[in-house]
Amino acid sequence: MQLNCDVTECVQISNHTYKVMLKADKEISFKAGQYLFFLLNEQDKRPFSIANVPHSQKIELHIGASGYSDFANEVIEHIKSKKMQNQKVSIDVGHGNAWLREKSNRPKLLIAGGTGFSYVKSIMEKVILDNQDETIFVYWGTKTKKDLYCHQQVLAYQQKYKNFNYEATIESNESHWNGRYGNVLDVLDKDFIDYSSYDIYICGPVPMVGRARDMLITKGALLEHMYADAFDYI
């Protein structure tokens, strides 16, 4: 589904992450957990996870743009330029097979590395919207505390919904941090004995997703109940 959208917001929300809000002229059709392509030109399209729930005219994106990533930096510059000139951006929505299986009654385990949280956020909020009593476990790992750009929002969900469980972990040894330290997969592995009953959704760097798949399988995770678009490349 190709659309032209207005850029309503493009703000930096952490050291290397931008929140981008787009608005279309009609409701945008996609499934929670899918991604879109930014169309920079006819030959150049770049994928980013959608961070909001479906059935809206809005799109929320979390784009990690560091000095080492031309892939993302060029998209941010493109968005800023279009916004400044009051021009629309072009996107192609509704891609990927790692979308939320809404009919499943299995508990959900959502695993995010870095801005892979945008994928998790879409699924997490859709599950809550459909059934506030659904059992959800969210594990989010980043390098620093500042990279947990939605931390307070997710903590609020944990306080509000009785079956919502959240663990955040950082890899840097920072003071004034009440959460856990270390790699998110190592933290996860300490907490679970058996994954066989879960629907598992994963998003992050491709090496992390590959390691997660191998680790989870050793404790009973079923491939038919594990979802990550990166599985297509590993």
Beta-strand pair 199-203/108-113: parallel
What tokens were used for 4?
A: 């032209």
Residues 205/114, Cβ–Cβ less than 8 Å: yes
Bridge-partner residues for 17, per DSSP? 64
Mean pLDDT, range 19-42, rounded to an integer = 95
Q: For residue 132, what pLDDT band results from cuts at 50, 70 and 90?
A: very high
Residues 62/18, Cβ–Cβ less than 8 Å: yes
Residue 67 pLDDT > 70:
no
Residue 69 pLDDT > 80:
no
Average pLDDT, the chain: 95
Which tens digit of pLDDT belongs to each residue from 149-202?
999 999 999 999 999 999 999 999 888 898 999 999 999 999 999 999 999 999
Domains and CATH numbers, the chain: 2-95 (2.40.30.10), 108-233 (3.40.50.80)
Q: What are phi and psi of 142, to 5 degrees?
A: -140, 175
The pLDDT of residue 100 is 99
Cα 45 to Cα 28, 93, 123, 149, distances in angstroms: 19, 12, 24, 26
Residues 9/21, Cβ–Cβ less than 8 Å: yes
Cα 128 to Cα 55, 133, 139, 196, 214, distances in angstroms: 15, 8, 16, 22, 29
Q: For residue 70, what pLDDT band results from cuts at 50, 70 and 90?
A: confident
Whole-angstrom distance, CA of residue 33 vs CA of residue 54: 9
Which tens digit of pLDDT belongs to each residue from 95-115?
999 999 999 999 999 999 999
